[in-house]
Structure formats: structure tokens, C-alpha cells
């Protein structure tokens, strides 16, 4: 059956001047060609995850041309005519829905998959973390393994908290040959290069009469109490009959009741090796037994005060290793604050006796040290700063026949040999002092 349709003016050809044949037979186009594909944008965020096939229609920004009539649809009328498709316009395809499952079931499925995935990731992370954990060995186990792999000299350093690298064998051989020429003397030498922690230990762990080198640990104990607030630098110390000591120093000649500041007393204990000043500090710090306990806590196994100064019989003892390790601790600020360390080293640089270690170093080098001299023993220990920036510890104690002058010469030569070797020693990577 043919029916006549009046074409809309919107699609009328300009050549036909708005007229269309009234007898043309029209067959409705398939439904899929009647609907143009809407321009939609996909949902984002959580809604996009749960409803990936849903999209939001994008509003068109195209405006209707002025003068173009609006065609109203009549749902009860025949299918509406569409203009002929241009050459480049593709056929609109019907959107296919891939959401086979009902919406509630699809949501539940996706949530289940998401939960399982997150649980798997978390479980894997925990398993990896557990596999990386190791059981820390106990302190006893560490000490046992370390001691088993070291010699006696290294064991002493372990208990002192000092970690050294390797022994400088060439320098040790030089010192061994040097001391062999002084058969009447018994020398102990301990040297540590602070730039690389290489060392020489030549009979350094043996105990010797300390003489006035015992004043080094007394000075450290003084500054330790200063840092703890137990004593003030400007506190007045009184010369009493009990503290008068003969030998070196001038305070023994002062009237009983004379007062000196604690800092002045400590300075003259080192600078002029005043024995009375030393006894005043020992008394103020708690006495010999209290100090000996502190020395043991520091790891000084051979250091002890048994008599007030001067100890002419040599009962007060120490060792080159004890003095050297104590200076290492001071250098890195272990026992006292950095401010107190600076004061301590400044005091030790004022030592007036310069006949031992200072004789073996160059003019531009700086040494902070303390000597000790009694009939049976001679020694010197300190920190040397070379002009090239190297810093090293040297501690020498010599047991000798009564006042044998060769002990002084030997210490001077040991100092010179050490200085010249380290000056041209190339194996010196610059490392932290910590």
C-alpha cells in the first residue's frame, strides 16, 4: 500500500523549491539507522570501577541554526523520515552491553575480586618482611666470635671499646730494631694513626710505673665531673697539710689555707707537673679508690693510683695501651664533652717539659702530651698534629736502671722514627673519628 507523505521543509531540496512527489513509496529504514550514537564519556573514580559499562551522556554544545524548524515526534504516527546520509558519515551502530550479570550481582563480584586482590598483596608484603628479619646475635656470641679471632693485644682494645684496623708492620720492625740496641732498657710502645686506625703495639699491654703520666687519667676524671656538674671550674680548692707533695711543682711551698680555682689547679698539675695540685684534685674527686674504679670502667686494665704523688717507688701503674686508648677516647669525645676535650688538649699543649716526644717531631708539628719521670721509669704520651693534617697517638714507657739517660734518647728516637714514617706513609684514607 502506497501512502503519501509530505516531506518536512527541513529536508527539502533547494532544487525542488520545497516540492516532493506525493506518490513516492517510502519504506521505513531499519531501527538501528534511526538512532544516532550519543556522545558519551565514561564514568571515572569508584563509580567507574563498579559500573565500567555505564557512561554519562555528554551535552552537545551545538546550537540549532536560526530559522530551522523544530520537528515534533508523534509516537503514534509513521516512522519519521531522515535525510540521506552523506558520503563520509558512518552508520551509527547500536551499543552492545557486556554487562551480562545483573547489576547487584556484578557489584558484589567486583568487590569480592577487589578484596581478594588486596588481601593477596598484603599477605605477600608481610611474608617478604618476615623473610628479611634476622635474629640479632647476643652480645656474648659477638664477644666469643671476636675474641676467638684476635690476639691478646686486640682483645685489650675490644674491652676498651677501641676498634683498630691493621698493624703497621714496617714501623713495628723499625722500632724493634731500634730498641734492640738498648739492651738495658725495656720499652713499651703504642701508636695509633687516627686517620685510618692502623697501629703499632710493641710491648704496649705491659704494666709500667706510671710516674707523672698518671696525671692524664686524673685530668680526664676532673673534666668528667665538670661535665656532670659535680665540680665547678671556678670552685676554690684549699692547700692542706694532707695534700702537700714533694718533687715538682710550687704549691708545696705555699701557706696552708691558700686557695686556687679548680681549673688553675688542674692546669698546673699538667703544665708544671705539680704533685700538690694532683693530690688536691685526687682528694676533691673522691680519693684513690673512687678514681681506680672509674679507670676500670673506662677499660684501663693496668692503670691504678696506690700512693699520693710523688710516687717515687713506682707503685702507681699504667701501660702504653691504657694511656693511648684513653687519648683515643678523649679525641673522639667519648668520656667528656667536646668543650671539655678542647680545654683538656689546650692544657696538655702547655706542658713545659719538652725533652722527650717533642724532640722527635718537626718544628711546625703540635703535641698535647704529659711526661713522667722517676728513677726507675721514664715516659711520655700524647696526641701529635702534623703540618699535613695527620693526627696520631703515641705512648712510650721505658723501664730503666736508676736514672739511665739512655731512656731519654730512646724515647726521642722512637718519636722521630714514628713521625718520619707516618709523614711519608701513603696508606691514610681520611675517615671519621666516630
Q: What is the DSSP string of 89-125?
A: PPPPPPPPP---S-HHHHHHHHHHHHHHHHHHHHHHH
DSSP bridge partners of 191: 200, 394
HSE-up (13 A, CA, CB side) for residue 191:
25
**Would you say residue 394 has pLDDT above 60?**
yes
Cα 280 from Cα 275, distance rounded (Å): 9
If one compares 84 and 229, the residue with the highest pLDDT of the two is 229
Name residue 369's beta-bridge partners. Answer: 382
SS3 of 48-89: the string is HHHCCCCEEECCCCCCCCCCCCCCCCCCCCCCCCCCCCCCCC
User: Domain spans of the chain?
Assistant: 148-423
How confident is the model over 282-308, as a mean pLDDT?
A: 98
pLDDT at site 378: 98
Q: Using CA atoms, how far apart are residues 80 and 308, in angstroms rounded to an integer?
A: 124
CA distance 10 to 354: 118
Q: Residue 54: its pLDDT value, please?
A: 54
Confidence of residue 144 (pLDDT cuts 50, 70, 90): very low
> What single DSSP character describes residue 415?
H
Question: For 309, which DSSP code?
Answer: S
**Could you tell me the end-to-end alpha-carbon distance of the chain, in angstroms, rounded to an integer?**
106
What are the φ and ψ backbone dihedral angles of 208, each rounded to 5 degrees? -130, 165
* Bond into 310 cis (ω within 30): yes
Q: What confidence category does residue 163 fall into, taking pLDDT thresholds of 50, 70 and 90?
A: confident
Per the listing, cell 581478594 goes with: 116
Q: Which of 93-97, 184-188, 207-211 has the lowest mean pLDDT?
A: 93-97
Task: Extract the C-alpha cell encoding 169.
Answer: 708492620
Confidence of residue 162 (pLDDT cuts 50, 70, 90): confident
Entry pTM: 0.64
Cell numbers linked to 414: 722512637
CA–CA gap between residue 419 and residue 384 (Å, rounded): 9
C-alpha cell at 124: 605477600
40-52 burial, b at 16+ Cβ within 10 Å, e below that, comes to eeebeeeeeeebe
Helix axis angle for 262-271 and 338-348, nearest 10°, is 40
316 within 8 A of 397, measured Cβ to Cβ: no
Q: How confident is residue 140, by pLDDT bands cut at 50, 70 and 90?
A: very low
Percent of the chain clearing pLDDT 90 (strictly above): 59
> Mean pLDDT, to the nearest integer, of 86-94?
48
Contact 55, 40 (CB under 8 A): yes
Name residues whose C-beta falls within 8 Å of residue 321's C-beta, 6 or more positions apart in sequence: 153, 156, 157, 160, 190, 201, 204, 205, 302, 395
More confident residue, 93 or 301: 301
| 3-class secondary structure, 331 | helix
Architecture label for domain 148-423: 3-Layer(aba) Sandwich (3.40)
Which residues, in sequence order, are CB contacts of 256 under 8 Å at separation 6+?
Answer: 239, 240, 241
CB burial of 308-325 (b: ≥16 within 10 Å; e: otherwise) equals: bbbbeebebbbbbbbbbb
Q: What's the helix, strand, coil split of the chain in %, to 5?
A: 40, 15, 50
Per residue in 18-64, pLDDT (tens digit) is 444 444 444 555 545 444 545 555 555 555 555 555 555 555 555 55
Most confident of 44-53, 79-88, 91-100, 328-337: 328-337
* Residue 243 grid coordinates: 695534700
> Which pLDDT score is estimated for 293?
98
Instruction: Count, in order, helices (H) and strands (E) of the chain.
Output: 13, 11
Confidence check: pLDDT of 164 > 50: yes
Lowest mean pLDDT among 66-80, 227-241, 275-289, 341-355: 66-80
**Lowest-pLDDT choice from 146-160, 280-294, 392-406:** 146-160
Q: Report the pLDDT averaged over residues 141-165.
A: 47
pLDDT recorded at residue 283: 98
Q: What pLDDT does 311 receive?
A: 95
Mean pLDDT of 299-306: 97
Predicted local confidence at residue 143, as pLDDT: 36
Residues 339, 345: Cα–Cα separation, whole Å: 10
Amino acid at each position: 500500500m502506497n501512502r503519501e507523505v509530505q516531506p518536512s521543509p527541513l529536508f527539502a531540496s533547494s532544487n525542488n523549491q520545497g516540492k516532493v512527489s506525493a506518490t513516492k513509496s517510502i519504506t521505513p529504514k531499519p531501527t538501528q539507522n534511526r538512532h544516532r550514537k550519543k556522545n558519551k564519556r565514561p564514568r571515572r573514580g569508584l563509580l567507574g570501577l563498579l559500573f565500567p559499562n555505564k557512561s554519562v551522556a555528554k551535552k552537545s554544545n551545538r546550537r540549532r541554526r536560526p530559522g530551522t524548524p523544530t520537528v515534533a515526534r508523534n509516537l503514534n504516527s509513521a516512522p519519521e523520515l531522515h535525510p540521506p546520509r552523506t558520503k563520509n558519515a558512518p552508520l551509527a551502530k547500536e551499543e552492545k552491553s557486556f554487562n551480562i550479570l545483573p547489576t547487584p550481582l556484578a557489584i558484589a563480584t567486583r568487590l569480592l575480586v577487589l578484596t581478594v586482590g588486596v588481601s593477596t598483596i598484603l599477605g605477600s608484603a608481610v611474608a617478604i618482611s618476615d623473610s628479611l628479619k634476622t635474629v640479632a646475635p647476643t652480645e656474648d656470641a659477638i664477644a666469643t666470635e671476636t675474641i676467638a679471632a684476635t690476639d691478646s693485644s686486640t682483645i685489650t682494645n675490644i674491652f676498651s671499646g677501641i676498634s683498630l684496623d691493621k698493624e703497621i708492620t714496617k714501623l713495628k720492625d723499625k722500632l724493634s730494631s731500634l730498641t734492640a740496641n738498648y739492651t738495658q732498657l725495656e720499652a713499651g710502645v703504642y701508636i695509633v694513626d687516627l686517620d685510618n686506625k692502623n697501629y703499632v703495639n710493641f710491648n704496649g699491654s705491659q704494666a709500667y710505673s706510671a710516674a707523672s703520666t698518671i696525671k692524664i687519667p686524673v685530668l680526664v676524671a676532673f673534666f668528667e665531673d665538670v661535665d656532670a656538674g659535680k665540680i665547678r671550674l671556678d670552685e676554690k680548692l684549699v692547700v692542706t697539710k694532707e695534700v702537700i707533695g714533694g718533687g715538682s711543682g710550687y704549691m708545696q711551698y705555699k701557706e696552708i689555707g691558700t686557695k686556687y680555682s679548680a681549673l688553675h689547679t688542674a692546669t698546673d698539675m699538667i703544665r708544671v707537673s705539680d704533685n700538690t695540685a694532683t693530690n688536691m684534685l685526687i682528694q676533691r674527686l673522691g680519693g684513690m679508690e673512687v678514681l681506680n674504679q672509674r679507670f676500670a670502667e673506662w677499660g684501663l686494665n693496668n692503670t691504678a693510683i696506690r700512693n699520693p704523688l710523688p710516687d717515687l717507688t713506682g707503685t702507681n701503674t699504667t701501660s702504653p695501651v691504657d694511656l693511648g686508648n684513653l687519648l683515643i677516647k678523649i679525641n673522639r669525645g667519648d668520656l667528656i664533652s667536646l668543650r671539655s676535650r678542647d680545654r683538656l688538649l689546650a692544657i696538655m699543649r702547655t706542658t713545659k717539659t719538652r725533652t722527650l716526644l717533642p724532640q722527635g717531631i718537626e718544628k711546625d708539628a703540635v703535641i698535647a702530651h704529659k711526661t713522667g719521670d722517676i728513677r726507675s721509669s721514664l715516659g711520655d704520651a700524647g696526641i701529635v698534629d702534623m703540618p699535613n693534617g695527620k693526627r696520631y697517638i703515641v705512648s712510650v714507657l721505658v723501664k730503666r736502671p736508676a736514672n739511665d739517660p739512655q731512656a731519654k734518647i730512646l724515647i726521642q728516637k722512637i718519636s722521630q722514627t714514628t713521625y718520619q714514617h707516618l709523614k711519608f706513609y701513603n696508606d691514610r684514607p681520611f675517615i671519621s673519628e666516630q
